[in-house]
Amino acid sequence: MKTVKKITISAVIIALYVVIMFVSQGFAFGQYQIRIATSLYSLSYVYPFLIVPLGLANFLSNTVMGGLGPLDMIGGALAGIITSGAVYLVRKFNWNMWLITIPLVLGPGLLVPIWLSKLLNIPYSVLAPGLCIGQIIPAAAGVFIVQVVNKHIKGKIG
């Protein structure tokens, strides 16, 4: 795939992530953070070049809507990169596609509470289960997204 096409797709996905976060922020923040936008991390299964842009999307989202400062912004970017990178590894090792649900749930669910517990003064053990539960719906949506992209879109754009 040509560089211009990769940059264009990356920009569209970053914008889509931020828009989804903006529209869903009413239930994307709180004890059970159902962040539908994190389902887009699944796209790194099909397009590994999106790993870093997805981290950047999280960084931008946390910058615009998070309000918790640099630690949350940088932590979110790293969580996005680690999670979407782990999703890609499922494909690289030719494992069952449904296994992408594991990093989609556990990546944000176990990483984000590391700094949120410090910022919010809430124990990690209280935050992590709620965040993992909130990621179940985005994880299932991520599998659906990969199935749709593989079937209807992948061949048309690269």
- Domain residue spans in the chain? 3-15+33-157
Treating both helix axes as pointing N-terminal to C-terminal, what angle do 101-120 and 124-134 enclose, rounded to 10 degrees? 140
- pLDDT at residue 39 above 60? yes
pTM: 0.92
Q: 3-15+33-157 — its CATH code?
A: 1.10.1760
CB of 41 within 8 A of CB of 104? Answer: yes
- pLDDT at residue 158 above 60? no
**Residue 98 to residue 32: CA distance in whole angstroms:** 22
Mean predicted confidence (pLDDT) in 5-32: 89
pLDDT digit string (tens) for 73-125? 999 999 999 999 999 999 999 999 999 999 999 999 999 999 999 999 999 99
SS3 sequence, 73-120? HHHHHHHHHHHHHHHHHHHHCCCCHHHHHHHHHHHHHHHHHHHHHHHH
**Residue 73 to residue 53: CA distance in whole angstroms:** 14
CB of 143 within 8 A of CB of 121? Answer: no
* Residue 52 confidence class, pLDDT cut points 50, 70, 90: very high
**Residue 57 to residue 61: CA distance in whole angstroms:** 6
